[in-house]
């Protein structure tokens, strides 16, 4: 059941499960302007047999309030406020972020290093240069998504949308690229059931936000780090995860075969098993 909590002036939607005294896992969803907590909660909720798992919608996303500002810094500070609210002022937590949520997870683990025990990154990248890699992959796989185009990726997904409706239609067109077992009926249902906020997307891709780059700061991450990526990931190709794992001290890389960007859903049991072993180490 979805609940709401006031965090830094915004009302955030969340779900939580697991024992109250269990180590807290905060999951950070992907999707600038359109993602929400539900797929992460579905994927990582089974860890609630031992851990306390919370997944929430960022401000301007999903069922959370459209409370500005929409910036990386603000969302990262919201994450820390969630940590304090659900774990305690001095508590360490496990941060698990994928895609855009992985960008935020890296920034959090750098800024709030003292509050992270484990860092789990899924299908993400250390800098905005990932966009160039994604464009190259799209050029090779464009036949998979006949209603999508390179210009849509460059100018809309990595740029700005004119309306929420345009955002929704473009996302539907690009969905065949995200999975190795694409289901068009499920994709349509997902898009119809999702909230698209062009304003929050555009703000998070503004000149002030889009050029993120953590490459020179990855060595500051002190948490034990597991980097997970599907070997077919198209929008955050595997070389990005390999780079992160090579720069974060003592990080471990887990490449999942025959999986795409949604590796945590496509290969859920395999991913969860690896996470369980890693968190027990």
Q: What is the DSSP string of 70-107?
A: --HHHHHHHHHHHHHHHH-TT--EEEEEETHHHHHHHH
What pLDDT, on the 0 to 100 scale, is given for residue 75?
A: 98
In this model, does residue 272 exceed pLDDT 90? yes
- Render pLDDT for 53-105 as a digit per residue (tens, 0 to 9): 999 999 999 999 999 999 999 999 999 999 999 999 999 999 999 999 999 99
State the CB neighbour count (10 A cutoff) for residue 201.
Answer: 25
Report the percent of the chain where pLDDT is more than 70: 100
Q: What is the mean pLDDT of the chain?
A: 97
* Cis bond upstream, residue 172 (ω within 30): no
Give the whole-angstrom CA distance, residue 236 versus residue 174: 14
The confidence band for 241, taking pLDDT boundaries of 50, 70 and 90, is very high
Q: Which domains does the chain have, with CATH numbers?
A: 3-128+213-279 (3.40.50.1820), 130-204 (no CATH)
What pLDDT, on the 0 to 100 scale, is given for residue 180?
A: 85
What pLDDT, on the 0 to 100 scale, is given for residue 140?
A: 97
Cβ-in-10-Å burial (0-12, 13-18, 19+) of 257 comes to: exposed
The confidence band for 240, taking pLDDT boundaries of 50, 70 and 90, is very high
DSSP state, residue 213: B
- Render pLDDT for 181-206 as a digit per residue (tens, 0 to 9): 899 999 999 999 999 999 999 999 99
What pLDDT, on the 0 to 100 scale, is given for residue 181?
A: 86
The confidence band for 142, taking pLDDT boundaries of 50, 70 and 90, is very high
The sign of the dihedral angle between the CA atoms of 178, 179, 180, 182 is negative
What pLDDT, on the 0 to 100 scale, is given for residue 179?
A: 86
- Render pLDDT for 97-137 as a digit per residue (tens, 0 to 9): 999 999 999 999 999 999 999 999 999 999 999 999 999 99
């Amino acid at each position: 059941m979805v609940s709401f909590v006031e965090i830094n002036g915004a009302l955030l939607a969340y779900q939580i499960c697991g024992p109250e005294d269990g180590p807290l896992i905060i999951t950070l969803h992907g999707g600038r302007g359109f993602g929400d907590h539900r797929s992460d909660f579905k994927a990582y909720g089974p860890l609630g047999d031992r851990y306390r798992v919370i997944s929430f919608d960022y401000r301007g996303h999903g069922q959370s309030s459209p409370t500005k500002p929409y910036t990386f810094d603000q969302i990262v500070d919201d994450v820390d406020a969630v940590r304090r609210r659900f774990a305690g002022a001095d508590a360490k937590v496990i941060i698990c972020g994928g895609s855009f949520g992985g960008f935020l997870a890296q920034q959090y683990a750098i800024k709030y290093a003292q509050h992270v025990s484990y860092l789990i990154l899924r299908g993400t990248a250390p800098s905005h240069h990932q966009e160039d890699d994604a464009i190259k992959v799209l050029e090779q796989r464009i036949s998979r998504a006949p209603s999508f185009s390179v210009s849509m990726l460059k100018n809309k997904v990595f740029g700005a949308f004119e309306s929420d409706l345009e955002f929704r239609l473009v996302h539907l067109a690009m969905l065949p690229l995200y999975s190795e077992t694409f289901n068009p009926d499920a994709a349509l249902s997902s898009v119809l059931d999702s909230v698209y906020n062009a304003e929050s997307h555009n703000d998070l891709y503004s000149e002030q936000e889009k050029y993120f780059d953590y490459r020179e700061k990855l060595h500051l991450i002190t948490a034990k780090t597991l980097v997970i990526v599907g070997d077919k990931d198209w929008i955050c190709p595997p070389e990005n995860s390999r780079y992160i794992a090579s720069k974060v001290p003592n990080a471990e890389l887990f490449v999942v075969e025959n999986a795409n960007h949604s590796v945590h859903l496509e290969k859920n049991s395999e991913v969860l098993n690896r996470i369980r072993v890693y968190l027990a180490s």
